[in-house]
Amino acid sequence: MRLIFMGSPDFSVPALKALKQAGHTIVAVYCQPPRSKDRGHHLQKGAVHQAAEQMGIPVYTPTTLRDAATQREFASHQADAAIVAAYGLILPQVILDIPPYGCLNIHASLLPRWRGAAPIQRAILAGDTETGITIMQMEAGLDTGPMLVKKNVPITLDTTTPLLHDTLAEKGANLIVGTLADLDDYRRQAIVQPEEGVTYAAKLVKAEGQLDFSKPAHQLDRAIRALNPWPGTWLDHNGTVIKILKARPLDGDYGLPGQFSHTTQDPLIVSCAEGGLALQTLQKPGGRPMDVLDFLRGHTILSSYLPKIIE
């Protein structure tokens, strides 16, 4: 097939490569414009942009798809379908209607659960035991289109956003290739999304990363696994921000929420509304990630709580 590929971040790259390797002709790649990544305001191309250039595919970076000139340019590629994976721009109806097979979206959840911007993180935060990939025929609504095929992926008590992100990216790449191989059949059997079970994966905000120990330990553990690398999770100890990169939830009573303690097995435990959180990997701003014991030996911030262990 002649395809337009529309995607921007790392998540989208495996699908782009898989489609090319499967023998499809990628006539154009659409992605977000280069962004400033440092204080020097140097523009950096996104992961899909870089991958497409390495593959010799023309790249387009419009800031909107709503103007007539951009829509004419899109139509000029004469693609059979457009494949969309974490693109970042709204596709108006006129764009959706241009390819004969429309626009197919690789969405990182089991729709209709977790429509929207952050489905991977929201699934972990909510304590879901599974998520997956949905290949969807796109409509003008937010992730509302008919579902062509789904693939389930388990979420365990050790699942982190980076691990789940990479797993879903590969699953999505394989699934879209298989879907295109029998596209007419999948389109005939498409299932309209039910209204029951709809949830929205709101965009992450930085404030979500501050741990609130008036919540249960298992909920905070999910936040640590879901919100790294961004916005990250942290605690504020007397004005000093300490990043929490890894922890382990504990059952039992460890005192008032926010109180520090330790056991022979866990050098630093923070009490929560239910249970405690055994901190395992910590980081000061500007510092490197450290094992909790090395952190305590090297920083006086919390060492007063654990004099015997530090010695």
Residues 18, 145, single domain; the answer is yes
Q: Tell me the pLDDT tens digit for each residue of 72-121.
A: 999 999 999 999 999 999 999 999 999 999 999 999 999 999 999 999 99
Final residue of a structural domain among 141, 175, 201? 201
| Residues spanned by the domain of 119 | 2-201
Q: Tell me the pLDDT tens digit for each residue of 224-255.
A: 999 999 999 999 887 889 999 999 999 999 99
Looking at residues 147-156, what average pLDDT do you find?
Answer: 98
Q: What are phi and psi of 124, to 5 degrees?
A: -65, -45
pLDDT for 237: 83
Structure tokens at 218: 């298992």
How many C-beta neighbours within 10 Å does residue 65 have? 19
Query: Peptide bond before 112: cis, by omega within 30 degrees of 0?
Result: yes
User: How open is the CA angle 158-164-169, to the nearest 5 degrees?
Assistant: 165
> How far apart are alpha carbons 308 and 311 in whole angstroms?
5
Residues 277, 128, single domain; the answer is no
Final residue of a structural domain among 164, 182, 201? 201
Cα–Cα nearest to 17, from 26, 30, 27, 8: 26
Residues 38, 176, single domain; the answer is yes
Residues 132, 221, single domain; the answer is no
Q: Provide the CA 28 distance to its chain's centre, in angstroms.
A: 25
Residues 90, 134, single domain; the answer is yes
**CATH classification of the domain holding 23:** 3.40.50.170
Kindly give the interhelix angle for 47-54 and 13-21, rounded to the nearest 10 degrees: 20
Kindly give the interhelix angle for 13-21 and 161-181, rounded to the nearest 10 degrees: 30
> How far apart are alpha carbons 57 and 45 in whole angstroms?
15
Which residue do the tokens 């980076």 mark?
162
Residues 117, 254, single domain; the answer is no
How many C-beta neighbours within 10 Å does residue 13 have? 20
Q: Which residues pair with 278 in a beta bridge?
A: 248, 269
Residues 226, 281, single domain; the answer is yes
Final residue of a structural domain among 179, 201, 223? 201
Q: What is the DSSP letter of 192?
A: P
Secondary structure string (H, E, C) spanning the chain: CEEEEEECCHHHHHHHHHHHHCCCEEEEEECCCCEECCCCCCEECCHHHHHHHHCCCCEECCCCCCCHHHHHHHHHCCCCEEEEECCCCCCCHHHHCCCCCCEEEEECCCCCCCEECCHHHHHHHCCCCEEEEEEEECCCCCCCCCEEEEEEEECCCCCCHHHHHHHHHHHHHHHHHHHHHCHHHHHHCCECCCCCCCCEECCCCHHHHECCCCCCHHHHHHHHHHCCCCCCCEEEECCEEEEEEEEEEECCCCCCCCCEECCCCCCCEEECCCCEEEEEEEECCCCCCEEHHHHHHHCCCCHHHCHHHHC
Q: Tell me the pLDDT tens digit for each residue of 190-213.
A: 999 999 999 999 999 999 999 999
> How far apart are alpha carbons 107 and 132 in whole angstroms?
8
Residues 164, 222, single domain; the answer is no
Residues 147, 275, single domain; the answer is no
Domain tally, the chain:
2
Residues 291, 180, single domain; the answer is no
Let me know: does 11 contact 85? Beta carbons within 8 Å: yes
State the amino acid at position 307 in one-letter form.
P
**Is 112 known to sit in a ligand binding site?**
yes
Model confidence pTM above 0.85: yes
Average pLDDT of every residue of the chain? 94
Q: pLDDT confidence of 310, banded at 50, 70, 90? A: very low
**Is 110 known to sit in a ligand binding site?**
yes
Q: Tell me the pLDDT tens digit for each residue of 167-194.
A: 999 999 999 999 999 999 999 999 999 9
Residues 245, 273, single domain; the answer is yes
**CATH classification of the domain holding 295:** 3.10.25.10
Residues 164, 17, single domain; the answer is yes
Q: Tell me the pLDDT tens digit for each residue of 268-289.
A: 999 999 999 999 999 988 899 9
